[in-house]
Amino acid sequence: MQLRNVSPDDVDAYIRMRCDPVMMADLGGTLPREGMADKVRRDARQAADDLAWFKMIVPDETKTTPEVVAGTVTIWSHDTSDGPMSEIGWMVLPEFQGQGLGKRAVRTLLEQARDQNRWGLVHAFPATSNAASNGICRSVGFRLLSQAEVTFAGRVLKTNHWAIDPGKDLR
Ligand SMILES: CC(C)(COP(=O)(O)OP(=O)(O)OC[C@H]1O[C@@H](n2cnc3c(N)ncnc32)[C@H](O)[C@@H]1OP(=O)(O)O)[C@@H](O)C(=O)NCCC(=O)NCCS
| Any domain includes 54 | yes
CA-closest residue to ligand 1 atom 19? 132
| Any domain includes 163 | no
Please give the distance, rounded to the nearest whole angstrom, from the Cα atom of residue 81 to the centre of ligand 1: 31
Nearest to 92 by CA among 49, 126, 47: 126
CA-closest residue to ligand 1 atom 47? 126
Tens digits of residue pLDDT in 10-67: 999 999 999 999 999 999 999 999 999 999 999 999 999 999 999 999 998 777 887 8
Please give the distance, rounded to the nearest whole angstrom, from the Cα atom of residue 160 to the centre of ligand 1: 15
The reported pTM is 0.95
| Any domain includes 149 | no
- Ligand 1 atom at shortest distance from the alpha carbon of 138: 34
Number of separate domains in the chain: 1
Q: In what order do the strands lie in the sheet with 122-124?
A: 2-5, 53-58, 71-80, 83-92, 122-124, 155-164, 143-152
CA-closest residue to ligand 1 atom 20? 132
Output DSSP code: residue 118.
-
Over the chain, what is the mean pLDDT?
A: 96
Please give the distance, rounded to the nearest whole angstrom, from the Cα atom of residue 97 to the centre of ligand 1: 7
| Any domain includes 44 | yes
Are the beta carbons of 19 and 30 closer than 8 angstroms? yes
Q: What is the CATH number of the domain that holds 35?
A: 3.40.630.30
The angle subtended at Cα 105 by Cα 7 and Cα 169, nearest 5°, is 130
Give the Cα separation of 110 and 127 in Å (integer). 20
Output DSSP code: residue 60.
-
| Any domain includes 145 | no
| Any domain includes 11 | yes
The residue range of the domain holding 59 is 2-120
